[in-house]
Structure 1
Amino acid sequence: MRLERDERSLLAYFPSSTRAQEAINALQEAGIREVQFDRVGRFGTRYNDQYNNPLANQASTITGLSLYSADINPLVKTDTRALLAADPSVSGVGLKNYGVAGNEGFLVTVVTSPERVDEVREIIEAHGGRL
């Protein structure tokens, strides 16, 4: 996104994709159209529902569930997968606020006019987002 001279951007972090999506829906209902949803993490891996869904019995790796990395090719990137598996968040021994996936790994970016910044902030905070 590129901001115009009279636009403002807000970056909001959410603890779950469900809360982020609820905020996006509320923003769009309020007439805010420039909204983008992303997942963020420390390791450059990306979330993929096809591989990281334990409810559908598709959790092929432990790092896929905790670090969203199950779609990393196991034959080509064995060193990457081994390093990810060594992360404390994978073993369940992660420290409080360590940054495990799902802590605040969901980013909503909003672009709006200066007059609507307070309204956007209220919607985001009402849905559990942190600016």
Structure 2
Amino acid sequence: MQVEKGEHSLLAYFPSSTKAQEAVSALKAAGITTVQFDRVGRFGTRYNDRYNNPLASQGNTITGLTQYSADVNPGVKTDTRALLAADPAVSGIGLKEYGVAGNKGFLVTVVTTASRVKEAREILEAHGAML
């Protein structure tokens, strides 16, 4: 995503992927189409490459469910896995004011013209974004 001359970018952080996806849909419905959705994390992990549903016995690791790290190579040293498992995001212990990007680990990036910045901002804020 590149910002051209005369365009502006907005970086909006959300507490959940659901709210972020709703904002993306609302932006696109309003005709603002240069929108990107990402997850922000501390551990450099990616979205799971495979479906990760514990209710269907497909949750391979607790860190995969809580930190999107199920695609970490199983050959990774056990001390690394122990550190991931010790994170408060896994146990819930110590979660008060703990998290990523101010407890808002989902990022929506918008590029639009100067004339539509206010409209895009209002849509994002209406869906709970922190800009």
TM-score, normalised relative to structure 1: 0.88
Decide whether the 8 Å contact of 1:23 with 1:127 is kept in 2.
yes
What is the Cα deviation at residue 47 of structure 1? 2.2
The letter for the 2-side match of 1:106 is F
Change (3 A) 1:19 1:55: farther
The percentage of counterpart residues that share the same residue type is: 75
The letter for the 2-side match of 1:46 is R
Decide whether the 8 Å contact of 1:37 with 1:109 is kept in 2.
yes
What is the Cα deviation at residue 49 of structure 1? 6.7
Unaligned runs of 5+ in 1: none
Which residue is 1:21 aligned to? Answer: 21
List aligned pairs for 1:106-121, cutoff 5 A.
Answer: 106-121=106-121
Decide whether the 8 Å contact of 1:20 with 1:106 is kept in 2.
yes
Q: Relative to structure 2, which stretch is displaced further, 5-14 or 47-56? A: 47-56
Decide whether the 8 Å contact of 2:40 with 2:100 is kept in 1.
no
Decide whether the 8 Å contact of 1:50 with 1:58 is kept in 2.
no
Which residue is 2:98 aligned to? Answer: 98
CA RMSD after TM alignment: 1.9
Segments of 4+ in structure 1 off by > 3 A? 76-79
What is the Cα deviation at residue 95 of structure 1? 2.9
Unaligned runs of 5+ in 2: none
Between the aligned partners of 1:49 and 1:19, the Cα distance in structure 2 is 22
- How many residue pairs match? The answer is 130
**1:18 partner SS:** helix
